[in-house]
A and B are shown apart, each in its own frame.
Chain A
Amino acid sequence: MTLHRLVLHLHSGAGAGSGPEQPDEEENYDFSSPDEDDFDGDIEIEGGSDDEDGGPSAFEQALAEGPAGAAESAELGAPDSSEVPFSGAAAKGLDLRADQISAIEAAFEGIADKTFYEVLLLPRNAELRAVKRAYYRLSKEYHPDKFYRKNIGPYKEKLEAIFNKVTEAYRTLSDDEARKDYDTLVLGKSGRDVSSSSEATATVDFVPDALRKKQAAQGGKPAADKAAKSKKKAPAPVFIQKLQKQLATRIAKARKHMEEGERALAQGRNGDAASNFQLAMTLDPRNTKAKALFTKSRTAHRNGKAEEFYRRAQEALISEDHKRAAQLLQEAVDCKPTRGKYYSEFAKLINEHTLQQRVALEHMKKAVEVEPRSVEYTMELAAAYVDMGMPTNAVRAYERVLRLDPKNSVATKVLKRLK
């Protein structure tokens, strides 16, 4: 459950994701590889390959070629009843030419695991101009506008996935810093064993639960101690490394928000505190402290606000501005609907100045509902029932009073009279 939400947060990147929406998205994010034998539980942050032309890594090849791999990619592009297999002529009923269909299919195949360079069909050392040109060229082919208001059936999702990945690739590779990060952390550009550096250790701490379980099951090998493996062993999937880096950033941000929130809390700025804790919670849902502090600061904030409205309402009453007082009391009620006081005061105001007894009654009922043990509010309610000529209700209310406070003489007297 936690893993699930973590992954969702991590995957809130600019695009719609690296694949079309699938009903069981868990499958996509299961960190165990499709072919279990290839994966020994270590986080190998190893480069894709040593060749500079960005050919597919061993893992990626295994993914594409292995039976399970084929099954996965087949699943991604599974033909359904509405899809027509590629043939020389254009697909029946769809506004697409045959060459367009084959281009889309080819681009979509294995797209989740292609590196940004592969997606843009670029060498690793491509300079900015080439990156831009590549992006423009591919945009002209896969941008949704090129298929504006055309009937393209199942290819719509594939196009979206392709174009989103192309855009993400362009954004990362055209920004110096982002490209450097991508090259180092995700592809291991320099070829050195990144897993033994402190950076790798830091990221390895945030191993997702599923993975940890797997490691434990396989004898609990501590991941950080391993030296670089040969290419025979499957390196960690590219997207795991990316997710880990993103996770690290989020945790760091969450920590900052926690600090800020605690500082605000100490200074009595409940609203700011609540805001910060909420952000911390969103970024790091496993942080229970954040949630607790959020609830606490939000309650304090609301209480403070409600009291403020109440105080201003009193002032308005003194200066006979009843309309304003009513507005302010309404605000107080909205802010803190769990306090009987505001309902009660509101009811009194309505009663005295607008003769809308029925409305006032509802508010008094609310006051009793939120604070059932209050004798004061129940008495008020009972009196109101009497005023409005509802003796049955009044009797019931007074009986309640006596249950709470058996010595209440007023209640006893009125009850005797009513009965």
Chain B
Amino acid sequence: MEKVIGIDLGTTNSCVAVNEGKGAVVVPNRGGYQTTPSIVAFAENGKRLVGHIAKRQAVTNATNTVFGAKRLIGRRFDSEEVAKAAGGVPYEVVEDAQGGCQVRAGGQTFSLQEISSFILAEMKKIAEDYLGEPVSKAVVTVPAYFDDGQRTATKEAGQIAGLDVIRIINEPTAAALSHSSSRAGSINNLAVFDLGGGTFDISILSVSDGVYEVISTGGDTLLGGTDFDRRIIDYLAESFLAQYGLDLRADKVAMQRLREAAENTKCELSFKRTAEVTLPFIATKDGQPIHLQQSLSRGRFEELIADLVERCVEISRRTVEEGGLETADIGEVILVGGQTRTPLVQQEVEKCFGKNVGRGSNPDEVVALGAALQGQALTNEDSDMLLLDVTPLSLGIATVGGKVSQLIPKNTTIPTQKKHSFTTVHENQSAVKIVVLQGEAEEVSGNKLLGEFLLSGIRPAPAGVPDVEVTFAIDADGIVSVTARDKDTGTEQSITVSVSGGLSDDDINRLIEQREEFEVDQKQEETAGAAHYEVESLHRKVMDLLPAAEASIGGDDLHTIMDVLAAAKSAMNSRDPGLLQKSQEQLSEVYESLRAYEAK
């Protein structure tokens, strides 16, 4: 069976892993890095950049550099979360026809699925280069607290990138999978504390003999390293404001520099007591350039983020309780996500669980490794591993008056189904509308709308007589589906969905075609690039040998050589593969004969 790769599609960084031998390994990218920034940019010449190369030009090309797409994917434009996230980014976030989000960069508009697909395609390529064979199957991870819309959108992104996403699994669960269980035959309770760039997740698992059972899960999809950075940015900007009367946050380019500085400072303070922030020529006042010079101590930083860390701990406690356990019952705590390197975070987690936290494994890589392992477990018969995950959000339907009736409570093991009977309230009513929601709020308005399902084609009958059984199912990816059956006739009831957001099949097909075209173009460019390099190198070599050989070569021969050189130059300019190929052959011949001359 072909290989399945594991991809950790993170808010700030992504990572890809493959299965090798008995375990999994992370595949470094072309630059030799284990992780690749989840950044997509559009250069002035229209070229699309992904990863480190995109990050490097982020400051000078702020409005066309898209980062943190994960905070927007699968969300409604008019949601509080999007308002919060969109407010802090230099690129434009706009609403699409269905009320979802899109971004504007490089003079074009993209759906978030597309942006994420560019990153997934890049990770796919990294794996393919390493394995030396094409890859089409992957397990992709998402925050445990992602809802149905966000999961579906992530799957769509994979589809556009040419990946069959065979499973979507939760990040903390993936991290647990890559953590080897200590003693055979015993049952361990494990807590995974995952604080990444954009999201916080905590999962409690019970592990025994290769079975990983998730007992409860909690989190906050808008709490992560980016928020820690924001605290530093505000601190720096406020002090600058006090000093110069200028708010740097209003300037997109300055903000980008501040963002980078904040990220670096945060990392520095993990192993230094004080950090210096220097940003020269950050702004101008009365025509004069002014600079930012500020120091930040670890203590002050900890004050700034104290409430964020406290929130993480509070959510952790609550999740342990929901699982019917106490913090003392937890045998091991695993830290995941770069943000857990912050000393204050480690300290508070240790205090909460009363034990030392595992610092062995690399918090940036464990999620991708776990994803690869799950891919292996699904496709390999001999695998001993089994994952029993849960749905993080309750599923319910709306009743008249705006209240929610819960059908599948949160922390229910998936896959799961629940059947519910519907009937009519008017005589000869031909359709019933079912509004499906995800969330814990009692009021409809506090939950996420999954979709409005219209059950039509109900036979005319007195009110209360028709009996339609609707099955609500959550599959192993955590994605909801609704099917209906008329119990009296046994036939499948027709159900139409008006989904909030998501791409249509046509959209996806179109984007897949675009991606394929792009890949073909890229390949051509690469071959052209290689040929160009060859021709250039040969051209130089010939030029080097020419002066010495000039004396011994006849006039005609010299003319021929000059023509070949000129043709090579124009071939290089045109970048035409055909011309380059020809020039390469010609130059090789010339070079060889000149070498022969030299030897004489």
Q: Interface of A with B (CB < 8 Å)?
A: 1, 4-5, 8-9, 11-17, 23, 25, 129, 132-133, 136, 139-140, 143-146, 148-149, 167, 270-276, 278-279, 282, 285, 291, 294-295, 298, 301
Contact = CB atoms under 8 A, between A and B. Distances in A.
Interface in B423-437: 423, 425
B386 A139 contact: yes
Contact size range, B: 35 or more
B469 interface: yes
Contacts of A274: 399-401
Contacts of B490: 23
A133 B208 contact: yes
B357 interface: no
A339 to B, nearest CB: 16
B425 A294 contact: yes
B25 interface: no
Interface string B413-444: 10111111101010000000000000000000
A148 B374 CA distance: 12
A8 to B, nearest CB: 5
Contacts of A5: 421, 423, 467
Contact of B419 (A12, A272, A273): A12
A4 B401 contact: no
B487 interface: yes
Contacts of B487: 4, 8, 25
A271 B400 contact: yes
Nearest to A95: B381
A144 B415 contact: yes
Given A145-B387, A278-B400, A15 B417 contact: yes
B388 interface: yes
11 contacts: A12-B419, A14-B418, A16-B419, A133-B187, A136-B211, A136-B386, A139-B386, A143-B388, A148-B378, A149-B378, A291-B464
Contact of A132 (B208, B387, B421): B208
A82 to B, nearest CB: 20
A175 to B, nearest CB: 8
A8 B419 contact: yes
A272 B206 contact: no
B460 interface: no
B187 A132 contact: yes
Given A5-B467, A14-B418, 15 more contacts: A4-B487, A8-B469, A8-B487, A12-B420, A14-B408, A14-B412, A15-B417, A16-B471, A132-B187, A139-B211, A140-B386, A145-B378, A167-B413, A279-B403, A298-B400
Interface in B370-416: 377-379, 384, 386-388, 399-403, 405, 408, 412-413, 415-416
A272 B464 contact: no
A149 B379 CA distance: 8
B437 to A, nearest CB: 14
Contacts of A291: 425, 464
A267 to B, nearest CB: 13
B213 interface: yes
Contacts of A167: 413
B576 to A, nearest CB: 45
Contacts of B209: 136
Interface in B476-520: 476, 487, 490
Nearest to B377: A145
Contact of B386 (A145, A278, A301): A145
A270 B419 CA distance: 29
B404 to A, nearest CB: 9
Contacts of A285: 423, 464
B99 interface: no
Nearest to A273: B401
Contacts of A273: 401
A260 to B, nearest CB: 11
A290 to B, nearest CB: 11
Contacts of A271: 400-402
A17 B401 CA distance: 31
B208 A136 contact: yes
B210 interface: yes
A9 B420 CA distance: 7
B421 A279 contact: no
Nearest to A7: B421
A8 B476 contact: no
Contacts of B418: 12-14
A279 B377 CA distance: 43
B340 to A, nearest CB: 29
B400 A8 contact: no
A11 B469 CA distance: 11
A148 B379 contact: yes
A171 B378 CA distance: 25
Most B Cβ at <10 Å: residue of A14, A25, A139, A145: A145
A97 to B, nearest CB: 9
Contacts of B388: 139, 143
Interface in B455-480: 464-465, 467, 469, 471, 476
Contact of B405 (A13, A17, A279, A301): A279
A13 B408 CA distance: 10
Nearest to A12: B419
A275 B402 contact: yes
A269 to B, nearest CB: 8
A305 B421 CA distance: 28
Contacts of B377: 145
Contacts of B378: 145, 148-149
Given A8-B469, A295-B425, A144 B476 contact: yes
A9 B465 CA distance: 15
Contacts of A14: 408, 412, 416, 418
Nearest to A175: B324
A77 to B, nearest CB: 21
B327 to A, nearest CB: 19
Contacts of A11: 419
A16 to B, nearest CB: 5
B476 A129 contact: no
Interface string B546-562: 00000000000000000
Contacts of B465: 1
A95 B431 CA distance: 42
Contacts of B403: 272, 275, 279
B417 to A, nearest CB: 5
B126 to A, nearest CB: 25
Contacts of A145: 377-378, 386-387, 476
Nearest to A283: B405
Contacts of A144: 415, 476
Contacts of B384: 140
A132 B206 contact: yes
